[in-house]
Structure 1
Amino acid sequence: MAILVPFFLFADRIEAAARALLASPPSGVAAALVLGGLLASDVVLPVPSSFVSAAVGASAARLTSVLLLFAGIVLLPGIALLVVRLPAWRRRAAQRRGASG
């Protein structure tokens, strides 16, 4: 519930920014970097991914949209998970090797 508070407080500003963005979208590469980054940051920030996904669909070609959404929603968070969890996995593997040997 608390995650919705910013949307209630800043709904008018968010809607105005969305309308301005959709009225004059940035260049393709800049939009791809910003929108892909927003989707990837959804792992740690309360980013409205459905809104960002809609912006991706509105601002890019179909194949580009699919690739951006896949990278932003699946690949980048998966890489972030691996980076965060890898030390713990290595530590557990070392403990198992030490216990068995």
Structure 2
Amino acid sequence: MSQESDLDALRAQAIAAYQQGRPTFVARLKLTQWGAPAGETTAWMDSVDAVEANGWVLDHWSVNFDSGGTFNAFPLFRRNPAWTPQDRS
């Protein structure tokens, strides 16, 4: 999958969870250990931006890595209180 198709899938999941009235949304974001230099991680920033653009606010973040060297981030998003039920259409 491409980064753009991954972002499209993440957007669709965030929108669906919001439309279902879920109070929280948790994503799993993966990044290989060697996939990015130290410093900013654009792939994760793009993912957070994609979710927050659809009515969610980042509330908590945890990261671990598996034995294969893949970092897994688990951002917990909560519904943006500024949005109303009419915004979910």
Compare CA radii of gyration and give the structure with the larger one.
Answer: 1
Q: TM-score, normalised by structure 2?
A: 0.41
Q: TM-score, normalised by structure 1?
A: 0.37
Q: Using CA pairs below 8 Å that are at least 6 residues apart, which structure has the higher relative contact order?
A: 2
Structure with more helix by fraction: 1
